[in-house]
Each structure stands twice: as structure tokens, then as C-alpha cells.
Amino acid sequence: MKHLVVVAHPRPESFNMQLKDLYVSCLEKSGHDVRIRDLYAMGFNPVATPRDLAAGHTGEYEEDVRIEQDHFIWSDVITFISPVWWMAFPAILKGYIERILVEGFAYAHGVGKQHTAGLVEGKRCMIISTSGSTLENFEESGKMSALAVTQDQFTLEFCNIEVIERLHFGPVGSRLTDELARNFFNAVEAAVERHFPAG
């Protein structure tokens, strides 16, 4: 199985990067092909231009967009790994999605309010996120439900990308303990075994 892992955190030593390293290692040990797109390390430009917005109709994609779209087409599974900042993806990842999953590539408008899928139809997605809040706070406050609506339902599933699981870990940062980190790492390993077993 072919996996595209898109990671967005500016600090190479961050817990998000540790999660990415473990996730990729588990996938590769299970025999999967993995491509990693580290948006900060790449210096990806998240700012959409008028040409980006028109590209779905003109077919004139910027080179950096076309490269990322080719990675999407290649993959069976896309995994996003990032913190939750101000109840959203980091700006660099939000901009990545806005520039890559454009009309004409990821979806097309049909009659009325209907839309049809594009070249990413049938792909699956994992979301691995972190925050300074506990998982209990995220669930009880409605934050998790809000992310499921805005990111899962009305972004990825709008393009007929199936979100198979969202793993959210918190608290991280100064509140992260060794015990919590071990639990979070165990959860990542279990998720890979559950969804992408070897063989």
C-alpha cells in the first residue's frame, strides 16, 4: 500500500515529528511504501494565487502544486500530522490543502448543489493531531466534533476521501509526561496494526 504522509510543524524536535517518525517506521516495517512531505522543511508556499484558483479550469497548475497533486494521485492513503492551532490546521497545512485540493482536481461542481469527485476519489485518510488540551477536554467541549465537521466532513469527505480514523493526542508541550508519551506512541502503533497490517 502507498502512503503519503504530510507533516506540518516548524520544530524538527517537536512531538509531532516524533509521532511522524514512529508512524513512518511502523508503516515501513509492515511493508508499505511511504513518501513524506514535510511542509516547513520544504518551504512550501501556502498562499493561493489567482492562477491557483483558476487552474482547475485552465489546467495550468504551478509546478509546486502539480508535484503535490502527483503525490496524491500516487497514494492510497494520505496521513496529515500536525498540531491543532486556534481550532484549525496550521496555516501552512491549510494553505497546502487549499492549493492542492482544488476544483477540477479534487472535485467538480455538478447540477445545483451536487458535486462530483475528482482524482482523489476513493483514497483514505488518517489524521494525527496534537494540542495542549486533554482529549477529554477536546471531546467534552465539542472541539473534536467541530474538527470532524470542518476538516473531515466538509474538506476531505467533500472530495470523497474517506477519513478512517482521527488520532488526537494531548496535552503535549510542557504538560507532556513520559507516561503520556508512551501511551500516545502505543496508540500510533496500534492504529497502524489495525488499519495497515503487514502482508
Rounded-to-integer distance, Cα 197 and Cα 199, Å: 7
pLDDT at 56: 82
Does residue 57 carry a pLDDT above 60? Answer: yes
> Is the pLDDT score of 25 beyond 90?
yes
Give all strands of the β-sheet with 162-169 in edge-to-edge order: 33-38, 2-7, 77-83, 124-130, 162-169
**pLDDT, mean of residues 92-117:** 83
Domains of the chain in sequence order:
2-195 (3.40.50.360)
pLDDT of residue 111: 56
> What pLDDT is recorded for position 9?
98
> Which one, of 92, 196, 174, 84, lies nearest residue 135 by Cα?
84
Model confidence at 114: pLDDT above 80:
no
C-alpha cell recorded at residue 45: 508556499
pLDDT of residue 117 exceeding 70: no
107-109/77-83 β-pairing: unpaired
pLDDT tens string 127-172? 999 999 988 998 999 999 999 999 999 999 999 999 999 999 999 9
Q: To the nearest whole number, what is the mean pLDDT of the chain?
A: 94
| pLDDT given for residue 112 in this prediction | 55
Q: What is the rounded CA–CA span in Å between residue 175 and residue 147?
A: 22
Residue percentage of the chain with pLDDT more than 70: 96
pLDDT band at 113 (very low <50, low <70, confident <90, very high): low
Residue 115 pLDDT > 80, yes or no?
Answer: no
Position with higher pLDDT, 109 vs 161: 161
| Residue 110 pLDDT grade (very low, low, confident, very high; cuts 50, 70, 90) | low
